[in-house]
Amino acid sequence: MRTKNAESISVPRKELKLWYDEEAPYGNEGISCAYAAQSEYSDIPDDGWEKWSLPLGNGYSGINVFGRTNTERLQITDNTLSTQLEIVRWQEGERRLNKRLFGGGLNSFSETYIDFHHPWDMVENYRRELDLRTAVASVAYSYNGVDYKREYFTSYPDKAIVIHLESSGKSNLNFTLRPTIPYKQDYMVDEGDGFSKHGTVVARDDGSIILSGNLGYNNVDFTALYKIVHSDGTLTAANRMNERGAYDDGTLTLSGATEAYIVITLSTSFVLSSDIFMTDEPKAKFKESRCDAAAVAEEELAAALGYSYSELRERHIADYSGLFGRVELDLGGEVPTSTTDELLQNYARGESCTYLEELYFQFGRYLLISSSREGSMPANLQGTWNRYNLAPWGSGYWHNINVQMNYWPAFSTNLAETFGSYVDYWKAFLPKAEEYATAAISGESYVSNLGLDFSSADERVLEKYRANLGKDGGNGWTVGIGCEAYRIVSTPGCGNVGFTTQMFWDYYDFTRNKDILRDTVYPALKGASQYITKTFERENDGRYLSIWGDSPEQWVGGVWYYTKGTTYDQSFAYNNGYYTLEAARILGISREDEGESILATVAEQLPNYNPIVIGYSGQVKEFREENYYGELGEYAHRHTSQLVGLYPGNIINSDTPAWIDAAKYTLTQREKGTAGDSWGWSIAFRQNLWARAGEGDEAYRQYRKLLSIRTASNLWSKTPAGFQIDANFGGTAGVAEMLLQSQSGYIEPLAAIPASWKSGSYRGLVARGGFEVFASWEEGVAKLFGITSKVGGVCKLRHKGLKNAEVFLAGGAKVGCTHLADDAISFDTVAGETYIIDNIKPVEPVDAPSKLTVAEGGEGAYALAWTASPDAVSYNVYRAVENDCDYTFVASTSDTAYMHHIKASEADKRTTYRVCAVGKNGAESRCVLAYTVGKIPS
């Protein structure tokens, strides 16, 4: 036996850079509304920003680097500078759009320019890059015989944006720093509604600029400070006359320098607190809690200036790489010599490029670290980057998939801390969410910012809610679809709440941190249970169905469709209920404890939610009243909400193979049409779903599609309204899901590895239970696994070929393990120890039979026939009837046909037949399926 050591489970650490040989091009730079692009301009509004600029962020704020040589453009966003999203009539200058649009939301903080006057066509050896290992962007070129280099980063520990500039030779660095405030009174939204923005940019004698102002809608102050630190050359401050005749367009000019750096700090008067959400009147929101934006920015600037440039850089890299460096992935990609946009173009034309696939995966992790840190706001629809006045969907927190998808990679790719910002946000909005829950259960209306009319809830629905008011110690909390930095909304149904608490449970399940469970996760789950259980009623047959909810965002007959017991509601109610009981059990809380009677209610409802119902097409139904797939709602809808029990939930899992087959059928139908393909996140969702169904090649096909048709040159994901970040996160999560799963109680490395990823390795992905996993494979076959236990406990591992597997400590000592079945082992772990699993022997794959048919066999029988598998010694025939989640064994035969005699009572029942070949080694092949519909409903 070879001795195992830490080296045997290491993964190549290769260069991870996005790079370009051109500056970001000019596009519709003046556009202020993302939506206008759809109707009036080219398909993408500001091309330079949307497709080409490089995003940097420290959770609080983001900058987009254009890398221009004549005048550099830096677009700066602070994710606390916002108005409210309203449905408004929008107008800009002379162009009136005769159409209602979403307006408001996150606002661009600054367009900051640096004038160099190096014309692009005279520049040589240009390179612009973003290094994902350091989160440092850089631009280098030569002009007139001088080499110029700039470096940019945003520091989380020092809450600052830092730009370093240098030139070769002495005294060749000359530039003017010119910050501006975008959308300052140069637009109007329904005149007189308070959507105003005022501010000044003033250069000060101490070599700094103060940009400050007020965004009128919510009365938020904002300040940015810019300081140039230089060792040589001359710095001049100037205040130019602005269009209103005031001297406040401040600039700083540095001449004859060799090297300098700029430090920028930003603040708004926003302080995350419950008052903001509790106060409805927009202008009053910041009365109670607000900070002095200018004072905070000054303090932060002074603190940052206490460090030299190299110290700031080191502190930033140490902080960032501490998170980013936890995961390495090698799919065999080689560091390319072509630019990232070329790679992407070739990829879209069908070339393979595993490097790009690795890069995109890691870019998602980069974006999450950059847009969501403890103490910052959570990652919004655009992460923390927005250059618009009217951002797409307000750059909000959309709770029927988008914000949750943002956090899908957080746990599996070893960035659990990034979820801390969502937890803070949730804690702050909770009192409002509780108010909404009580309003909903009282039968009062909902608060929508989508212009939706919820009045179709008739009195009978509301009466049923009212009957539950106040039960089990309270009405819990609820959250609607389109939330923002300063406001949350509410929506009927309970699916969005369960979608949200799925993140909370994962937060515990992946970290197994009991403090997190007690202080955050259990309260979230319990409150959600208090709300959810009140929105259900008991049917005569004992089932509990949600009284009135949706399946995002299905419209039927021209209206948003609300109905009873949607699979979306039932699935998330099930998961939330299950997690609530699990959390209580782990914490030792019982239903007899004071204030915990909700546990009894959940325990009663849970077994009767009946979340997964199989329809006559063999599909997972989206609506109970649907017989065949696609009867109600849009056939190829972008949401695949009937499968949330497969992912992110775990109702459909390896113990429910018949449901997995139904899910696969459903997914295949969902893709028959291109509606979903417009939305990157929709493709990313399907990638995760296919991965969970164990179909690596299908998951990979989605990943390829995402990169080929919904990814811009800067690797940002695209939608019809421009950039939306969710798909970046969903795509990253999807890759992790292909490489490692753990939702069925086992750690399952390489659970959905596609044929295209022949050989590779990874380390640092996280499995539920607090295990960091290493895996390597060659020619599609697992070689070695490694498990680092973070919190101790039993490790259960499953993979085909573990029959003779052995477990070693990283030092080489053998560890006892139990073989649970041919493909599963279990062993005890000690926190901090690494275990190596060796002697994994591949199981010879068996070819599947094909073309299964089922026909009436006369007199209570079904005649099955199939095409032989060359490897088969025999065939196993199984069936699942109606909603069965698992198959039952019917027969073993060496023939390629089978007559199945059924009882008369079963003739009406829908059945799925499943046939697999059994090889010489006793292993089963993949299966073929065929359906009987039984008695077709009229």
**Which residues make up the interface to ligand FUC (CB under 6 A)?**
381, 393, 398, 400, 402, 481, 553, 638, 679
CB 461 to ligand FUC: min, Å: 23
CB 106 to ligand FUC: min, Å: 13
- Cβ proximity to ligand FUC: between 647 and 679 the closer is 679
CB 819 to ligand FUC: min, Å: 46
- Using the Cα atoms of residue 655, residue 658, residue 659 and residue 660 in order, give the sign of their dihedral: positive
- Residue 361 CA to residue 338 CA, distance in Å, equals 19
Q: Are 61 and 109 in contact (CB under 8 A)?
A: yes
CB 372 to ligand FUC: min, Å: 17
CB 381 to ligand FUC: min, Å: 6
Structure tokens at 108: 């661009």
- Find, among 531, 547, 462, 447, the residue nearest to 497 by Cα: 531
CB 556 to ligand FUC: min, Å: 16
Q: HEC profile for 599-626?
A: HHHHHHHHHHCCCCCECCCCCECCCCCC
- Residue 901 CA to residue 335 CA, distance in Å, equals 60
CB 449 to ligand FUC: min, Å: 12
DSSP string across 171-226: S-EEEEEEEE-TTSSS-EETTTSS--EEEEEEEETTTEEEEEEEETTTTEEEEEEE
- Using the Cα atoms of residue 915, residue 641, residue 508 and residue 419 in order, give the sign of their dihedral: positive
CB 395 to ligand FUC: min, Å: 10
For residue 863, give the 3-state DSSP assignment: strand
- Residue 502 CA to residue 507 CA, distance in Å, equals 9
- Residue 80 CA to residue 222 CA, distance in Å, equals 9
**C-alpha triplet 159, 162, 163: angle, nearest 5°:** 170
- Residue 723 CA to residue 717 CA, distance in Å, equals 6
- Cβ proximity to ligand FUC: between 481 and 916 the closer is 481
CB 729 to ligand FUC: min, Å: 13
CB 97 to ligand FUC: min, Å: 20
- Cβ proximity to ligand FUC: between 402 and 601 the closer is 402
- Residue 34 CA to residue 305 CA, distance in Å, equals 37
- Residue 699 CA to residue 692 CA, distance in Å, equals 9
Q: Which amino acid is at 310?
A: S
CB 636 to ligand FUC: min, Å: 13
Q: Does a cis peptide bond (omega within 30 degrees of 0) precede residue 25?
A: no
User: Angle between the 726-739 and 696-709 helix axes, to the nearest 10 degrees?
Assistant: 150
Place of tokens 């006369």: 858
- Residue 210 CA to residue 215 CA, distance in Å, equals 16
Structure tokens at 783: 């070689």
CB 354 to ligand FUC: min, Å: 29
Give the DSSP letter of residue 518.
I
For residue 676, give the 3-state DSSP assignment: helix
CB 40 to ligand FUC: min, Å: 21
- Cβ proximity to ligand FUC: between 261 and 723 the closer is 723
- Cβ proximity to ligand FUC: between 718 and 900 the closer is 718
Q: Are 161 and 57 in contact (CB under 8 A)?
A: no
- Residue 579 CA to residue 710 CA, distance in Å, equals 35
- Cβ proximity to ligand FUC: between 404 and 653 the closer is 404
Buried residues in 629-667 as b, exposed as e (16+ CB within 10 A): bbbbbbebbbbbbbbbbbbbbbbbbbebbbbbbbbbbbb
Q: Which residues contact 817 (CB under 8 A, 6 or more apart)?
A: 805, 806, 807, 825, 826, 827
- Cβ proximity to ligand FUC: between 75 and 402 the closer is 402
- Residue 767 CA to residue 413 CA, distance in Å, equals 9
CB 481 to ligand FUC: min, Å: 6
Q: Are 395 and 380 in contact (CB under 8 A)?
A: yes
CB 864 to ligand FUC: min, Å: 42
CB 688 to ligand FUC: min, Å: 16
Give the total residue count for the chain.
938
